Structure 1
Amino acid sequence: MDDIYANVEYDKPVNPRLSTNQTGPRSSGRRFHGAVLCLGLLSVFLLAGIIGLSVHSAELSTIKTNLTERLQASENKSSSLTEERDRLNSRLTEMAEELDRLQQKLSTIKTNLTERLQASENKSSSLTEERDRLNSRLTVMAEELDRLQQKKPCPAEWRTFCSSCYLLSAESGSWEKGRQDCRDRGADLVVIDSSEEQTFLFKFVKKDTWFGLTDKDQEGTWKWVDGTPLTLKNWEKGQPDNGGGNPKWGEEDCAHFVATEWNDRSCVSPMNWICEKKA
């Protein structure tokens, strides 16, 4: 600006009247050129300002576009991350449910295995007990077999059953006579311990025969001659009745076989007897 105004000539002030009269057209031309020059300069400044604003506006537009694109990209990325998060949460939920199912299944399997193991242990314990019982029984049988093999067989005319010898007398007499005869032979009147032994005796007893059962010590309390109480019973119907109150039969304190059953009779009645002794 200073350079532009440096070439302009300034006239000395003159009287307005004299100046108007002397330099009218020339002075007006100078003012016009100065105004044009100022307008040109203003136009240049305006143009420069407009260009600057345009450039600045373009830059702002570019920045805005970039920011918009970045914001959109950020929103897209955020949306993508949100979807990914939702997928991961959904997958995590599915995995948690699957883990819960697996834990329940594992618990069921564990319970079943525990029950099967307990049942197996119980069965094993039962089998062990059964094995021990069988072994014990086998030991007893082996000992009994060994004892039987070491013993002498029953004497002539005696019958053998298990580990005992039996003799049916050839004569008859009272219950006491029969017992004394058995004792003289190293035996006693037979004591019946089982139904198998009783069945064995019935095979060769064909008539009334004394055996080792009496209630002479206390009426109604029957005991075997070895002192053991009566447990196995095979009384005839209505027996024992101690004579039924008939004086003809007297006190019936001794037992005898009637076919395959028992009856009580007076101990002095004559009949055969059966002796028993260990082999």
Structure 2
Amino acid sequence: MYAMEAIYDNVECVKLDNPTPSTNYTGQRSSKRSFYLGVILSLSLLTVFLLIGLITLSFFNHNLAGHVSAEAEKRDLLNKNISAVSNQLSSMTEERDILNKNISAVSNQLSSMTEERDILNKNISAVSNQLSSMNEERDLLTKKLLCFYNQNKQCPAGWSSFSCSCYLLSGRSDSWNQARKDCRDRGADLVVIDFAKEQEYLTRLTNTLTWIGLHDEEEEGRWKWVDGTPLNLMYWADRQPDNGGGDPKWGEEDCAHIRTFENTLWNDLSCTNSLPWVCEKIP
């Protein structure tokens, strides 16, 4: 009994004398509990953050998938449009090639027609020249026949006779138009020079600038005689006709005269100038 009490006394003494280990043990437990709570809290927060991240990632992944799907649809639609445009371009290219072939064929046909037209124009020109030559021969033959018919007829008083025609040198001067009027009033017209001998005769008949029946009043540069025949036999002086040489002071030179101041050839002059003239008619 006393022994047990002694033991308890010793135990109590021990507890009372060494209280520190119990306090340390309680502090350690409290520290561990705080540490574990911190770890648990950190893991919980990390879990929450991971969960938020997964949710966010899932949301963005869903949106990205939708965007990719929409882009894929746009790409497919664009490819379809490109394919349609490509087919249309291919069709247009074929149509262009056909059109180019047709244009080439038409161009060749036009070229052939142009060649035929040129040949036809040459033929027409040749025929026209032949007709003109035949008309000149006819006119010459007509004059010869008239000459033969009138060979026994006499020219009026004051008129001179040469090669079946009668000629009158005016005794005054006037414009070309007034000179022609005077000849017509006499049943004649301004002289028409048909052959070289007639030119020689007129150079003897005249002695100064004298109007003849040659003009280009209707069309500049297209000279013709008063009887409508074109100019074939020509005796123009050097560098004539020149229509005044472009000098305004000379005016439009649309009428011709025989003899210049230097020779017996022809020159063009303004029709308003005042010159003597030669009338010609058949007896």
TM bracket, shorter-chain basis: 0.3 to 0.5
Structure 2 length normalisation: TM-score?
Answer: 0.47
Structure 1 length normalisation: TM-score?
Answer: 0.47
